[in-house]
Structure 1
Amino acid sequence: MSVPVSADEVSEFPLILRGNVSINGDPAPAGTEIVVKLDGIIVGQVTTNQEGVYGDTPTSRLLLTPPSERYGDLVFSIDGIKINIENMAVITNASPGDSIIFDIDATIPEDDITSINTANPYLTASIFGIVLVLFLKRKQD
């Protein structure tokens, strides 16, 4: 049995993004969180699975759910730091349901990069080995 609905009751399909992500010209590390907000409300978010790429698998695409007429008002952030998007026209010219390749080239001040790298001491310390991770854990206790 089908139920008729008006066009106003049908929500738009999400805009689907995937592509490369870099911070100051270097590939963003795996685990980088990309968040997109509209009027302070999260309308899409994803965490990278591999260095320099987001949306590399169908389940890791960045799905944006705002109304299409508001695509130009989206605010992007990487690991909690607001970034400017130079190629926003790619998004504003898209239609709901489109799947597009959208590279994010973030320029973040060095002080903020330091805060990204030290915000999670377990992630940062894992580069240096498990001994340092245990040291940091013990120091915090």
Structure 2
Amino acid sequence: MNHTQVHHKLKIVLQAFLLLFAVLAIPTAMAAEEATPIMPLILKGSATVNGEPAEIGSEVVAMIDDRIVGSTTISTEGLYGDLPTNRLLITSGQDDYEKIKIYIDGVEADTEENEFQNARPGNTIDLDISTNTNQQTLDNTYLMILAGGLLIIGAIAAMRYRPK
């Protein structure tokens, strides 16, 4: 083999290695970019239900548009996030923070409208939350009365205008 042929073969081998490297590097770089974790927003504070401290075992859930983005269980009466193991970690992008709604045992908690306005991923926010299940029960009672009234009106109308 002469010098030109050896040079040509080395050039082909080098090009093959470069092509192989490029093919393997692109998916790895894309996977690394997609796998970059988002730091959670961390919430902790007091939790009350009907003016009383929330009971141990109560569930505190953060939701954005019917999607659970964080949850914890109260392990100290009236507090959530008092321990590192029960902080409410919200795993969502910062753009969605304004849509966060907090619930205690399925009842939406009262929070300030702009509570998360200046929040950044990784921040810890002290947020006291409270619910009033009496108000929720009252609202449900009114809805049941309204539904019953509409049902009675519909039955009367059906009986009055039925074919004879």
Which residue, out of 65, 82, 91, partners 2:116?
Answer: 91
Q: More strand per residue: 1 or 2?
A: 1
Tell me the amino acid that sits aligned with residue 39 of structure 2: F
Deviations, residues 104-141 of structure 1 (Å, cap 9, x unaligned): 122332664xxxxxxxxxxxxxxxxxxxxxxxxxxxxx
Which residue, out of 132, 137, 140, partners 1:107?
Answer: 132
- Name the SS of the counterpart of 1:90 in structure 2: coil
Stretch deviating more after TM superposition (18-27 or 88-97): 88-97
Deviations, residues 10-29 of structure 1 (Å, cap 9, x unaligned): 34200011111111221111
- Paired with 1:84 and 1:101, the residues of 2 have a C-alpha distance of 14
- Pairwise CA RMSD: 2.5
- Equivalenced residues, count: 110
Q: Can you give the 5+ residue segments of structure 1 that lack an aligned partner in the other structure?
A: 113-141
Q: Please say if residues 22 and 106 of structure 1, whose CA atoms lie closer than 8 Å, have aligned partners that are also in contact.
A: yes
- Name the SS of the counterpart of 2:85 in structure 1: helix
Shift in alpha-carbon separation, 1:63–1:111, aligned structure 2, 3 A: closer
Question: What is the TM-score normalised by the length of structure 2?
Answer: 0.58
Higher relative contact order (CA 8 A, sep 6+): 1
Aligned to 2:77: 51
Question: What is the TM-score normalised by the length of structure 1?
Answer: 0.67
Q: Can you give the 5+ residue segments of structure 2 that lack an aligned partner in the other structure?
A: 1-27, 138-164
Aligned to 1:138: none
Q: Does 1:77 align with 2:103?
A: yes
Tell me the amino acid that sits aligned with residue 71 of structure 2: Q
Tell me the amino acid that sits aligned with residue 107 of structure 1: N
Superposition deviation, residue 8 in structure 1: 6.2
Q: More helix per residue: 1 or 2?
A: 2
Q: Please say if residues 83 and 108 of structure 1, whose CA atoms lie closer than 8 Å, have aligned partners that are also in contact.
A: no
- Name the SS of the counterpart of 2:55 in structure 1: coil
Tell me the amino acid that sits aligned with residue 73 of structure 2: T
Identity of aligned residues (%): 38
Tell me the amino acid that sits aligned with residue 120 of structure 2: S
Superposition deviation, residue 67 in structure 1: 0.9
- Paired with 2:136 and 2:93, the residues of 1 have a C-alpha distance of 35
Tell me the amino acid that sits aligned with residue 128 of structure 2: D
Aligned to 1:137: none
Tell me the amino acid that sits aligned with residue 89 of structure 1: N
Superposition deviation, residue 89 in structure 1: 2.2
